[in-house]
Structure 1
Amino acid sequence: MSDQPVIFEYLPTACGKRIGVARLNAEKSLNALNLAMIDALHAQLKAWEHDGTVVAVWLEGAGEKAFCAGGDVVALHAGSAAYGEALPDNSAQTFFEREYRLDHYLHVYTKPLIVWGSGIVMGGGMGLLCGAPVRLVTETTRMAMPEITIGLFPDVGGSYFLSRTPGQAGLFLGLTGAQFNATDALYLGFADGFVPQGEKFALLNHLSAAKSWAKDDVFQHLLSFCNQFSEQKPKAQVEPHQAHIDTVCKGDKLLSIIEAITGYQGEDEWLTRAAKTLARGCPVTPFLVQQQLQRAAGLSLAEVFRMELIMAVNSARLGHFKEGVRALLIDKDRKPQWVPATFAEVEADHIKAFFEAPFAPDQPHPLADL
């Protein structure tokens, strides 16, 4: 087993060219993204983009449990500040800046780039998947943006892709961290095709036989393979609840929305879990979710990542993120001591602070060149 953060291989094609294969190589941590993985993947993608022998890129995770379960939040915890403290170093900003650069790069990549989104795809994994031109999901796919549980917000471009979902689905998923499957991902616009996990190698053989390597042609070539499995998709979770989601998320009064979601008294397991996750979540996160989605509606993709970097550095700086990760993953007591402690105590100034640039005033934004 290689100890490289990302394994790079090649698949031959029928036309004599090559497909570059990149495999996130941290199976034990469910391929959680660390800085070494981000840097290695970004550099290799650049090299492949300018390599005439490489006609497409396939991105996957090691093992069958996860494509990518998110960012390495334990490492980020070390570079974050507790309530009332100053940041110990620049590591959080460095991580988020490089992660967002990679995510943005996937959105504008000039060659066909296919992500095999099987297993767990959450947080940072969603950033990689949603940035790709071709996004494939399987019966084992489990997606979520669960940042409500750790005092963060749905980043990695979440402002962009959650704000472009049907009805109020993006807001609901951001507020509750609710998990969803492959069928839901297709409905929400986060995936393009469904393939059973056991058909992966048949799919790769189909891909290598492509007659044209133009992005649109590869897209259609892969979807023609996916179409034969349309009856095997898992049962939808989001679309059947769309009317309920739109009702509870109606209007701009966030406290009323939170009350409507957490007050669910029915027997639906998915809605019950969503309500409980929100009720236990970081009090400031719902306000950030509402703000980021509203602002993103009028922003370009690059502007979204610039906004999210400001929010992410402030999340690391203001204490909520450190406390959330401590309670969930470090001490594992699951008893975060949030400040403020309740949704009702969150004030406008608490949220405003997340959107004020924390960078030196004489310096350009770190992502100004996107």
Structure 2
Amino acid sequence: MSDNVKFEQRLCADGSHQIAIATLNNIGSLNALTFNMLEQLHELLIHWRDDPSIVCVLLEGEGEKAFCAGGDVRAMHDVMSTQTKAQAQEFCTNYFTLEYQCDYLIHTYPKPIIAWGEGIVMGGGMGLFMGASHKVMTPSSRLAMPEVTIGLYPDVGGTWFLNQLDEGIGLFLGLTGVMVNASDAVDIRMADYILPAESRERLIETLQIQYWVKGSDNGAEENHGTVNDVLSLLSEHSANEVEDQKPSNQLIPFGSKIKKACEGNDLSNISREVLAIDSSAHPEAEAKWMSRAQQSHRLGSPISSHLCFRQIKEYQHLSLEQCFRLELGLSVSCGLLGEFQEGVRARLIDKDGEPVWLYKSIESVDSGVIDDLFMSLWEEDSHPLAKLGR
């Protein structure tokens, strides 16, 4: 089976504790998350959570190219395009429910989880990465929430974590789906550390020789501190090497312009302001980055832009649990609308790069359609994620 989660447990020097390692293994699809992988990962994390000998978890992707490039949208497209509406709703409900349960488990995990975000971290991969207590990137890492290009929206907890960023930044990332490099990710607080790719084994070996505390809330807190100390030490020791390897900032130089463009409560105006950001006085690499962001927004789904806008502007006060419950209904509804199916077809199936969106512009989108997408498909007690956090 090519889509699985490999696991390993490394015994610590004290002979009683272990470091658990979960490796997303779907290398041919940049470790995209299949339902099978989500089932395995969810089961593993619960098992390790309840195993008193496990003191820390390292979550990584197989290979150097990607931590995880997203969810299994190809499988969703197959179901949406070949099966009945009822079957598509059932498939999407089951997939997204399990995915969000997995994301939530990581967000609320009592033990330290180190996400080793080497390579591409996108979409569903961001759901795993952003929930980790310790988020590590390598100099070549890039992260993004590119759902605007496929007619979805920044899900997997995006309603929560994009709203934790400085005002305007999360909205810009959602509206453009632009890639963020490791330097920018740390500076906008979407990642905690940058370590050389070669440091992975040294990280595990250093964790193995630490003093770990077993049991009790105090023990969990102390173990989180131990991981902080290890990562800080490795970061300090590799500072010169990382400085030579890490990319120059691309987002940060535009920070004030991005925040100003994303002010206000009128999406059409924000869209115009984003597209009008002037990069002519910036170095070539920065200008190209902004141009890619603007092009992605210009060609992206107008419905996706509306969904992202409401996520950021109207739901910033929701709890983490409420965010996932909101997103489940929204994601399933998107799967039934047709926009998501068309976006995946154009970008990943036929690869013609020419999706035919339901609306030609942000201004032409029927607000009633957006209202309907945000309507829950279930009563509160029958919601598939009703027990989340309870």
Q: Deviations over 1:247-304 (max 9, x none)?
A: 2112111101111222345341111110000000001111111111123321110000
Conserved 8 A contact 2:380-2:386:
no
Post-superposition shift, 1:363?
6.0
Counterpart of 1:47 in structure 2 is 47
Spell out the pairing of 1:199-238 with structure 2 (5 A cutoff).
199-213=199-213, 214-231=223-240, 232=243, 233-238=246-251
Q: Indicate which of 272, 276, 280 corresponds to 1:263.
A: 276
Conserved 8 A contact 1:23-1:59:
yes
Counterpart of 2:386 in structure 1 is 368
Counterpart of 2:262 in structure 1 is 249
Q: Indicate which of 297, 307, 311 corresponds to 2:330.
A: 311
Post-superposition shift, 1:39?
0.4
Q: Deviations over 1:183-224 (max 9, x none)?
A: 211122221111011222112211212223522222232222
Instruction: Describe the SS at the equivalent of 2:116.
Output: strand
Counterpart of 2:344 in structure 1 is 325
Post-superposition shift, 1:229?
3.1
Q: Indicate which of 231, 235, 239 corresponds to 2:252.
A: 239
Q: Work out the CA distance in 2 between the residues paired with 1:133 and 1:66.
A: 20
Post-superposition shift, 1:181?
1.2
Q: Work out the CA distance in 1 between the residues paired with 2:275 and 2:87.
A: 36
Counterpart of 1:336 in structure 2 is 355
How many residues end up aligned between the 2 structures? 366
Post-superposition shift, 1:362?
8.7
Spell out the pairing of 1:178-193 with structure 2 (5 A cutoff).
178-193=178-193
Q: Work out the CA distance in 1 between the residues paired with 2:199 and 2:334.
A: 41
- Stretches of 4+ moved more than 4 A in 1? none
Conserved 8 A contact 1:167-1:242:
no
Instruction: Describe the SS at the equivalent of 1:151.
Output: coil
Q: Given the two structures, how large is their TM-score scaled by the length of structure 1?
A: 0.95
Counterpart of 1:98 in structure 2 is 98
Counterpart of 2:367 in structure 1 is 348
Counterpart of 1:10 in structure 2 is 9
Q: Deviations over 1:63-103 (max 9, x none)?
A: 11000000011001123369xx8354311111001000000
Spell out the pairing of 1:68-79 with structure 2 (5 A cutoff).
68-79=68-79
Counterpart of 2:377 in structure 1 is 358
Counterpart of 1:29 in structure 2 is 29
Question: RMSD value over aligned CA atoms?
Answer: 1.7
Instruction: Determine what percentage of the aligned residue pairs are the same residue.
Output: 39
Match for 1:317: what amino acid? L
Q: Indicate which of 292, 307, 321 corresponds to 1:273.
A: 292
Q: Work out the CA distance in 2 between the residues paired with 1:265 and 1:239.
A: 14
Bigger drift between 36-45 and 292-301 goes to: 292-301
Conserved 8 A contact 1:175-1:278:
yes
Instruction: Describe the SS at the equivalent of 2:263.
Output: coil
Bigger drift between 299-308 and 265-274 goes to: 265-274
Match for 2:142: what amino acid? R
Conserved 8 A contact 2:115-2:136:
yes
Q: Work out the CA distance in 2 between the residues paired with 1:299 and 1:363.
A: 18
Bigger drift between 213-222 and 98-107 goes to: 213-222
Post-superposition shift, 1:4?
6.0
Q: Given the two structures, how large is their TM-score scaled by the length of structure 2?
A: 0.90
Q: Work out the CA distance in 2 between the residues paired with 1:54 and 1:184.
A: 33
Q: Work out the CA distance in 2 between the residues paired with 1:230 and 1:91.
A: 46
Counterpart of 1:56 in structure 2 is 56
Q: What are structure 2's unaligned runs of at least 5 residues?
A: 214-222, 281-286
